[in-house]
Structure 1
Amino acid sequence: MMRHFVRPEGTPPVNGYSHAVRFTGPMVAVSGQIPADAQGQVVGEGDAEAQIRQVFVNLATALAAAGAAMEHVVKLTVYLTDLADLETFRRVRDEFLDPARPPACSLVKVAGLVHPAFRVEVDALAELPAGA
């Protein structure tokens, strides 16, 4: 059972995330997903939208392997090398996650990621559904 506390009284406004998410049961931790395809090739070099989309595809694939799906995500940690990509990130994120039930989220602006062409990396915590 998951319950989203998008904006409890006394907390600042949000833009696509919940201040808290309460859940019960087992969970899965997904390592930072990068903008690389199944062959390890960088996707969308210089193209923030293509990179963000690939990261979410990789995230969904990793979750599925563990028996979960995007709707089970309770927390994201987002690493962006350029905050100018934030609006694009939010738009693409909302294609993969239900904006009415957003996960908790942390955003970190970083000087760089493991590969100089990477603009984004995202890791996640997800609730495992019953029977998974």
Structure 2
Amino acid sequence: MQIPTITKIHFNYTENCLILGSIGSFLSSGDLPTFKRITVSLLSIQPANLWDSSPYLFSQVVRADEPTRLAFISGQVALSADGSLVGEGDVDAQLKQIFSNLRAALAGVGGTLNDIASVTLYVKDVSYHKNYMNLQREEFAGWRPAETLVQVPSLALPELLVEIQATAVL
């Protein structure tokens, strides 16, 4: 079993607790807002079965721990673990590799495709969405994450046809 590379950082942020109450009653009451400090750990993870993105200064996966575990998966493209292009000119082959990469990224943080809450698809041609939907039926086994589709003129490499970014709740 290959071990993912993990980099851990911590940060603090202040959350306005008024989100649970009514802004109108707050404004009319004259009370001062209450705040609480929450510490969140962010882990930058390079799953062993994905190509190494560190030379490009981004993480394949970032997992946020406490109070909720979230995984933010960088846009996955049709690159194999060794960084070579899969399926030049073949949108179905590229999508299959992308789903393989998504599975590897999620496995690196203890998740599965069914943990994905939302995806953003970047496509060179909107007609590729039909290919995505056909594969999605198999890959997500009935689960339907929130989805955004964006047509773009180009991706990181000219041979790429599709890129999928995902956010998962673990």
The TM tier, using the shorter chain, reads: 0.7 to 0.9
> Could you tell me which residue of structure 1 aligns to residue 152 of structure 2?
110
Deviation per CA, 1:67-101, whole angstroms, max 9, x where unpaired? 111110000010000112121111012211133x3
2:116 maps to a residue whose letter is V
Residue of structure 2 aligned with 1:61, choices 104, 112, 136: 104
Superposition misfits of 4+ residues, deviation over 3 angstroms: none
1:96 to 2:139 alignment = yes
**Matches of 2:129 and 2:165, distance apart in 1:** 16
1:45 to 2:85 alignment = no
**Matches of 1:85 and 1:104, distance apart in 2:** 18
2:84 maps to a residue whose letter is Q
Residue of structure 2 aligned with 1:80, choices 123, 128, 137: 123
Q: Percent identity?
A: 35
Give ranges in structure 1 of 5+ residues lacking alignment.
1-23
Q: Please give the TM-score of this superposition, normalised by the length of structure 2.
A: 0.59
How many residue pairs end up in the alignment?
104
The offset of 1:124, in angstroms, is 0.5
Residue of structure 1 aligned with 2:114, choices 71, 85, 98: 71
Give ranges in structure 2 of 5+ residues lacking alignment.
1-66
1:108 maps to a residue whose letter is V
Compare the two structures and name the one with the higher strand fraction.
Answer: 2
The offset of 1:25, in angstroms, is 2.9
**Matches of 1:80 and 1:92, distance apart in 2:** 15
> Could you tell me which residue of structure 2 aligns to residue 121 of structure 1?
163
Instruction: Identify the structure with bigger relative contact order (alpha carbons < 8 Å, sequence gap 6+).
Output: 1
**Matches of 1:86 and 1:118, distance apart in 2:** 15
The offset of 1:109, in angstroms, is 0.4
Structure whose alpha-carbon radius of gyration is higher: 2
* CA root-mean-square deviation: 1.2
